[in-house]
Structure 1
Amino acid sequence: MMKLSLILALLSVSGGSGLRVTSVSGQDVTLTCKYDIKTNTARPVCWGRGDIPSSGCNNQLIASDGSQVTFGGGASSRYRFLGRLQDGDVSLTVLNVSETDAGRYGCRVDIYGWFNDEAHHIDLSVERAPQTTRSTAAVSGGSGLRVTSVSGQDVTLTCKYDIKTNTARPVCWGRGDIPSSGCNNQLIASDGSQVTFGGGASSRYRFLGRLQDGDVSLTVLNVSETDAGRYGCRVDIYGWFNDETHHIDLSVERAPQTTRSTAAGMDGSRTFLLVLLCAGFGVLAALTVVFIVANRPRRKNSDPQVYSQVWFRGGSPGEESHLRGGEGGGGEFRSTVLYSYRV
């Protein structure tokens, strides 16, 4: 049993493949975790800090049974499920991320059957944000932020303004530097309540924050390497030269292959290895029993056992009589007893 437990520990996902995400303090960052809800139906999921254990999540932050959301004891309300749970999107969004949020996060999706859980861990790095600036006529040379994500994830590029002071304001997002007015290659925009998309812009660009709170951050769903580059956000503030502008440089890295775990999502090859090891232990145990039985000490029995008794006539041992009192001439009969010792 100890050997089997050790094998399970060695095959756990604590050393499995993971993703790396870099964000900037003050932004919202999304750590992606999705599963095939059409195949598996709605399943329980949890997010925690640190490596993924053999069951559940370490230092649980947030969880869902497939429809309802619960928070770990003492976990901050900054942890949110902003994706569509009904589509299997259980990505974790950390609002207003700070440098203390850096570290490893683990996502576990409880899939039916042994060793079928899907598990992912993501290493989050958080950099200190530079001071943002207002523009005069353009911010092409202004300060900017840098975000690194991994292909296949959802990434959030943060842009917020003080809606209490300015009331709801028009905003736009585009690709490239921010021009003197509007946004280059506009992707998405809002007048403060309604959302519009730029001509030909992908539906992967979303406002998932609360517009009514001044959160006009751009989320790019299922990001790919072609999404890398500069993005610009402009908030139209009353008055001359008062627009709030931000540009963010997005880097997208190729994602490593994700894996299943033992008690946390083991893949087919690891399952086969575990079965093979169990079968090997069974054969070894059987051979051990056979060896012990075959080499068990034997007790010798020195009591002689009569094997046969043969009668001879007239002192001539070579002349065998069929019966002790059988036919033939006179003479003396002798008997010879042959002994065998049972070992």
Structure 2
Amino acid sequence: MAPFLLLLILLSEAASDLIVVTVHSGDDVILPCQADGSSIRAVEWTRPDLKPPEYVLFSIDGHLDPTHQHPSFKDRVELVDRDLKDGDVSLILMNVSRHDAETYECRVVTDDSRRKKRAISDSEPIGTLRLQVTEPDEIEVTVDPGDDVILPCQAPGSSIRAVEWTRRDLKTPEYVLFYSDGYLDPTHQHPSFKDRVELVDRDLKDGDVSLTLKNVSSIDNGTYECRVASAGSRRRKKGIIDSEPIRIIRLQVRDPAGPEDRNSSSVVLIVGLAAGVLVLVAAAVVGVLMYRRRKNMRSRQPAADEASADTLV
């Protein structure tokens, strides 16, 4: 029983050392790691699911070594401080996607330590982190038909090379809008969006990549996704950015009054008018009857008076 309890304690202590970092898809994230001492020769970031000798990042003598770097991290990782001041060996991971959700390990090599071949350090990790990637919250935008609408989207950072807006029901490579290196690319734009979409700010100031959609109609109902590609990142052919969306928007266009609604309104109006006419006619008939009754009563009154006078004589 005692060995089992000891094992539980050790596992609990190991679990307590695991740092969990949560980030939204499309954002940049810093994976913190602090080394003891300042005589650091090499820094290595690995992921246990990668097959050796592949790694996330390897830096030696102040230079990044891409020899065995896993392709998915190319141009997406760097050290917070290449000078490694105060032992800071934290990693910056850019444009995070759900494929980055894994466990990361940080190792260092000092001047007096040895390391294995192929840049894999011969030491235990000094930091272990679990990266959790969450999808962006879906927001709903409702608009009246015929109006213009802005679909908001904010990108992290300012080094944006390309912006892509898509709608889930469109077949790849068709898109709503694609903007690259300062120009709109209509090559695979869906015909229904031609001359109806533009970016709120083509200069993409402060990462604003919001979309303006003009003259909205019911055919625009759907789920829209916003993606960006930073400078140096890779993207698929035909203008489709290979990353998770940084914003998901559900657009709902209100239904105008249809023919059935208009017919129902007409019927209600006709019935109302008819009822009004009937009320007026009834009132007129009652008025006429009352007038005739009063007239008859007045005509009978003199005859009655004359009969009374004859009786007295």
Please state which band the TM-score falls in when normalised by the shorter chain.
0.3 to 0.5
Bigger fraction of residues in helix: 2
TM-score (norm. length: structure 2)? 0.38
